[in-house]
């Protein structure tokens, strides 16, 4: 696991969101989402490198599967951070910024319903 603060940021933003500390939530959650984006890119590059090696070993298959599992987990945590950023920005009355983050999770099965509800609130707050 390539831990460079993503996990720590994830848990911190989760606690801040639960406590409704919106300014800090917005900052930490958005930074955490960006951190996961970078980590996912590094893992995807590693997978591409393994595949390009042409080495059809069982070990290589396990390494690819492990990194893919990490990417999947990172995407779930990234979506949580993006949604929490949107909520925080909504509560800070920053509808345009909130809209950008909520749109990132509209297709996410875990957040789709809540994201659509938040988008409807944003439309009432600041219609487009």
Pick the closest to residue 39 from 9, 83, 12 (CA basis). 9
pLDDT tens column, 103-113: 999 999 999 99
Length of the chain counted residue by residue: 128
Looking at residue 127, the DSSP 8-state letter turns out to be -
Task: Return mean pLDDT, the chain.
Answer: 93
CB 85 within 8 A of CB 30: yes
Write b or e for each residue in 99-114: b if 16 or more Cβ atoms lie within 10 A of its Cβ, otherwise e: bebbebbeebeebeee
pLDDT score recorded for residue 1: 47
Average pLDDT over residues 42-61: 90
Residue 88 has pLDDT above 90, yes or no: yes
Which segment of 31-35, 54-58, 79-83 scores lowest on mean pLDDT? Answer: 54-58
């Amino acid at each position: 696991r390539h831990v460079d603060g993503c996990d720590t940021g994830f848990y911190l933003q989760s606690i801040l969101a639960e406590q409704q500390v919106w300014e800090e939530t917005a900052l930490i959650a958005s930074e955490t989402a960006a951190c996961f984006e970078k980590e996912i890119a590094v893992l995807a590059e590693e997978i591409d490198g393994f595949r390009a090696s042409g080495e059809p070993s069982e070990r290589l298959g396990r390494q690819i599967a492990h990194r893919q599992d990490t990417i999947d987990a990172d995407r779930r945590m990234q979506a949580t951070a993006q949604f929490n950023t949107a909520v925080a920005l909504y509560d800070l009355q920053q509808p345009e910024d909130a809209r950008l983050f909520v749109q990132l999770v509209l297709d996410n099965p875990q957040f789709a319903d809540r994201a659509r509800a938040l988008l409807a609130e944003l439309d009432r707050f600041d219609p487009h």
